[in-house]
Structure formats: structure tokens, C-alpha cells
């Protein structure tokens, strides 16, 4: 099916100009293929229904015409649905709640007439529900929830890990950067800013066990939420026990300590029990965006992200691994935030459906929670503040970090791991590289970006430099 011109959407030129204001992506192969971080006509195929059956070559002319007519109707409905959701969002932003309610009601009518188990119907259902929740926060029934089972956040995260290559990419690229940084060290201390189920660390422990000359002493400090009647502390302890047993089975000297904090900017030096002589590593997987604040926040109050980065810089780790969503969802205006998110999550659902031939309901619930936070949350209530790689480079450079480039070897390893660990080769996933960074992409649209950093001193003296660190030159711009 050909691309759908953006001009088909029935809207005024001013609105169209707002929606097509794309930021230049940092990944060149993505740019060459038309990927964008705002609304881009080339992204419409991700929003259109899947599984349409083309008429057989031998079908009668009448059947072929009927099939073509049905396809055109589906495409028209998809375009109309996207337009209504975007228009509804604009009306909410303008305070015209009566118009927003009418747009939402018409969106619901279209959703009732099309399939909601795939394509545009699936992703639009979540965004329509989020808009309804925003319109009628006092009346939860106004936003009928998708038929998704309830589950704890840890279970949602676990099922999201299994549903696609997203977290596997994050963990494997971070682990490779850690292994390179601690090569030859006898004692390693990893501070994981979000331990979760500790799924990342068996791969690292196994790699260390194979190191020539024997493995180093490994200490992991796992950060988790503050205990609620002891529950969180018990979870950290259980993860630590499992990791200790695994390390023992491979002959890796191991020590684990759990630390509970309400928020990462509450971490202090004394909590981490830093030991001189250990190779210190900080690891952040999809956590830093949660510490961002609105651009108009009081500058006299240090932002949580600055507090944490100051701590990490002060402790001078050998490497600071960072993986974040490659998306632009931290806009103060709802309309821009909504449109960026709509197309990002359309690609996410599209890729997840292709990965497993369907979407696990709990993995879908995990993404739905992110959508609701982006659409409904404002101020301190919003934590899914995803930003693009360029902004993270600027922020980390100002904090006193220099980027450690992923070299050609890391690109090959990441690609091989993506293929072998997930069996998704040839399905639309790929690894993109730009100036020492790696990104997991779906049809050349970056979804998650991985970077590695080292502390070089205070403030902006880092200048955004990319350190080679002896791991290969020839980084493609």
C-alpha cells in the first residue's frame, strides 16, 4: 500500500504546520528513510490496519473492486480517526471541552466499526481512553478501559521484556560497555539505578566468568522503591539471593546490597558504600527521563536530574551506561506531546505485533500505562518525559560527562545479539549507529537509544566530546 499524503487530513493549514514540524533525527540512516520524531507522512503505514487480504490474481473483477473499495474505506476511516483524536487534543488544550467531547464521541463511533485488535484500532483505543480520562477525570467510567488483566508493575515489566527485543537491546548494549570499561579490573562495583528483577545481570556475570585469568570480585548495589510494609525490601532481597546463587554456580565472587529510595535524587554517597580500588559503574535503563521537570519549573530549586548527575559525576565511575526512549514526549503543550506519542507508540505496537505474531496483554498494559501518563499527566504527576538523544547529550555534557563511543565491534555484537537472542532477523528490526551511539530501530525509526559516558570533570568543560577509549575509530557521523 502506498504512503498516505498528510494533505488528505481535513484540517486547516496552521494545524497541519504544527503537526509536521519534525525535529531532525540524529541517526542518518533513519533520516535517509524518512523517519521522524513528529508527525511524518511516511509513518502512516504504522497506523493503518494490518492483515488486509489482497484479491487473488484470479478473482473476478467484481470481487477485486469490492476488496479495493473496502481497503479505501478502511484507509479513510484510519485517516479520519487520527484527525479526530488530534483535533480532540487541540480542543482540550484550548479549553473547548464541548468540542473535544464531540470529537471523542465520533472517534468512539469509528472504533466501534473497525477492528481494535491490530493496527490503528489498537493504538487509537489507548489514546482515546487516555483523552477520555483527561476530559472526565472525576468519572473513570467515561474512559472505558481496554480488556487488559490487572497486574503489578514488576509483572508488566517482565512481560514487556519477553514481548520484544527492547529491553534485551538495552541490557546487552549496556553490559558490553561495562565489560569494556572494567577489563583487567580485579574488583567491580555496579550501581543499578533500577534493579527490577535483575534480569540484566546474569548475562554480565556469565561473561565475567569466562574472562581469561579468572573473574573479578563483583558487587552489585540494586536500587528499588522505598518499601511498602517491607514488600519492596523483600523483592530486592530475593533478587539478590537469585543473583548470588547464579554467580556461585559460575565461580564468580559476588556480593549484593539493596538500597530503597523514594526517588533517585534521594540517593547519597553513604548509601552506596563506595570502596576505594573498586571499578565503579553506574547503570541507568529507562530511568533518567523520570527525573526531568517542566521547562518553566522554578530554577532556584535543583531539578532531580541535576541532583543525581552531580552525585554520579562526583563519584567518578569508570562508565555510566544510559538507555532511554528515543522519543520526544516532554513538550509542555499537550497537542505536540500527544501527536509525537501517537506515532511513536503506533510504531511500538506495530513492531511488538510483528515480533510475536500478536501482543501479550500485560506487555500491552505496560505501554498503555506510558500512554496514559504522557496524555493525562501534568507537572509533577507526569514521569514519562522521554527526550531525544541530542538533548541527553547536551545535558550529560553540561553535567561533566564525555561520551564513550560504541565502536564497530559493538555494532556487530549488538546486531548479532538482536538476531540470536530474539530470532527477529529480517522482521523490520535493526541497529542504527550515530556518533558512537546505538539505537534499536523499527523500519529505520529509532525506538531506544543506548549511550555510555565517563566523568571528566565539572560542568560544561566536557563540551559534548565523544571519547574513543581505544575501542575503535571510524565512528560514522
Select from 370, 362, 294, 360 the least CA-distant residue to 327. 370
Question: Quick one: pLDDT at residue 232?
Answer: 57
**Domain range 162-326+387-455, CATH class:** alpha beta
Q: What are the residue ranges of CATH 3.40.50.150 in the chain?
A: 162-326+387-455
Q: Mean pLDDT score of the chain, rounded to an integer?
A: 83
Is the confidence at residue 138, as pLDDT, over 90? no
Mean pLDDT along residues 187-206: 97
Q: Please work out, in degrees rounded to the nearest 5, the angle formed at the alpha carbon of residue 329 by the alpha carbons of 427 and 431.
A: 30
Which of residues 473 and 305 earns the better pLDDT score?
305
Cell of 352: 511488538
Instruction: Supply φ then ψ for residue 356, to 5 degrees.
Output: -120, 10
Q: In angstroms, rounded to a whole number, what is the distance separating the alpha carbons of residues 333 and 122?
A: 25
H-helix or E-strand containing 426?
none
Q: In angstroms, rounded to a whole number, what is the distance separating the alpha carbons of residues 131 and 137?
A: 10
Question: Quick one: pLDDT at residue 15?
Answer: 45
Mean pLDDT along residues 440-444: 93
Q: In angstroms, rounded to a whole number, what is the distance separating the alpha carbons of residues 266 and 400?
A: 20
List the end-to-end C-alpha distance of the chain, in Å, as a whole number.
33
Is the confidence at residue 421, as pLDDT, over 80? no
CB 312, CB 282: distance < 8 Å: yes
Alpha helices by DSSP H, 164-281: 166-181, 201-209, 231-249, 269-272
Select from 361, 377, 376, 383 the least CA-distant residue to 142. 376
Cell of 1: 500500500
Confidence band (pLDDT; 50, 70, 90) for 125?
very high
Amino acid at each position: 500500500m502506498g504512503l498516505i499524503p498528510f494533505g488528505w487530513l481535513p484540517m486547516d493549514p496552521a494545524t497541519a504546520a504544527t503537526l509536521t514540524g519534525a525535529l531532525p533525527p540524529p541517526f542518518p540512516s533513519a533520516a535517509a528513510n524518512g523517519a521522524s520524531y513528529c508527525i511524518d507522512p511516511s509513518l502512516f503505514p504504522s497506523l493503518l490496519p494490518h492483515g488486509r487480504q489482497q484479491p487473488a490474481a484470479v478473482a473476478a473483477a467484481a470481487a477485486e473492486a469490492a476488496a479495493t473499495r473496502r481497503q479505501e474505506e478502511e484507509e479513510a476511516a484510519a485517516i479520519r480517526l487520527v484527525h479526530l483524536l488530534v483535533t480532540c487534543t487541540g480542543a482540550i488544550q484550548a479549553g473547548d471541552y464541548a468540542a473535544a467531547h464531540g470529537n471523542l464521541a465520533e472517534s468512539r463511533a469509528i472504533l466501534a466499526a473497525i477492528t481494535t485488535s491490530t493496527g490503528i484500532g489498537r493504538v487509537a483505543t489507548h489514546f482515546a481512553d487516555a483523552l477520555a480520562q483527561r476530559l472526565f477525570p472525576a468519572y473513570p467510567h467515561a474512559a472505558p478501559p481496554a480488556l487488559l488483566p490487572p497486574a503489578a508493575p514488576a509483572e508488566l515489566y517482565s512481560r514487556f521484556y519477553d514481548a520484544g527485543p527492547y529491553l534485551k537491546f538495552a541490557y546487552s548494549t549496556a553490559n558490553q560497555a561495562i565489560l569494556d570499561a572494567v577489563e583487567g579490573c580485579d574488583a567491580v562495583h555496579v550501581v543499578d539505578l533500577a534493579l527490577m528483577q535483575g534480569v540484566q545481570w546474569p548475562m554480565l556475570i556469565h561473561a565475567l566468568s569466562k574472562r581469561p585469568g579468572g573473574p573479578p570480585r563483583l558487587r552489585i548495589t540494586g536500587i528499588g522503591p522505598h518499601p511498602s510494609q517491607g514488600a519492596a525490601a523483600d523483592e530486592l532481597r530475593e533478587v539478590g539471593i537469585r543473583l548470588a546463587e547464579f554467580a556461585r554456580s559460575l565461580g564468580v565472587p559476588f556480593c549484593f546490597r539493596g538500597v530503597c529510595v523514594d526517588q533517585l535524587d534521594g540517593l547519597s554517597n553513604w548509601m552506596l558504600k563506595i570502596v576505594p580500588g573498586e571499578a565503579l559503574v553506574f547503570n541507568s535503563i529507562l530511568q533518567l527521563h523520570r527525573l526531568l521537570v517542566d521547562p518553566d519549573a522554578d530554577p532556584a530549586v535543583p531539578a532531580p536530574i541535576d541532583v543525581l548527575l552531580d552525585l554520579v559525576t562526583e563519584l567518578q565511575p569508570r562508565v555510566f551506561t544510559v538507555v532511554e526512549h528515543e522519543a520526544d514526549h516532554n513538550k509542555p503543550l499537550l497537542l505536540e506531546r500527544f501527536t509525537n506519542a501517537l506515532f511513536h507508540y503506533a510504531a511500538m505496537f506495530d513492531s511488538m505485533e510483528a515480533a510475536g505474531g500478536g501482543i501479550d496483554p500485560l506487555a500491552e498494559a505496560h505501554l498503555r500505562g506510558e500512554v496514559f501518563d504522557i496524555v493525562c499527566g501534568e507537572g509533577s504527576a507526569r514521569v514519562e518525559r522521554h527526550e531525544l538523544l541530542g538533548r541527553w547529550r547536551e545535558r550529560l555534557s553540561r553535567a561533566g560527562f564525555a561520551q564513550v563511543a560504541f565502536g564497530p565491534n559493538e555494532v556487530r555484537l549488538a546486531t548479532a545479539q538482536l538476531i540470536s537472542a530474539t530470532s527477529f532477523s529480517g522482521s523490520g528490526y535493526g541497529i542504527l549507529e550515530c556518533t558512537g551511539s546505538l539505537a534499536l530501530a523499527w523500519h529505520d525509526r529509532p525506538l531506544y537509544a543506548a549511550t555510555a559516558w565517563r566523568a571528566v570533570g565539572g560542568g560544561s568543560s566536557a563540551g559534548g566530546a565523544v571519547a574513543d577509549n581505544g575501542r575503535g575509530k571510524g565512528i560514522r557521523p
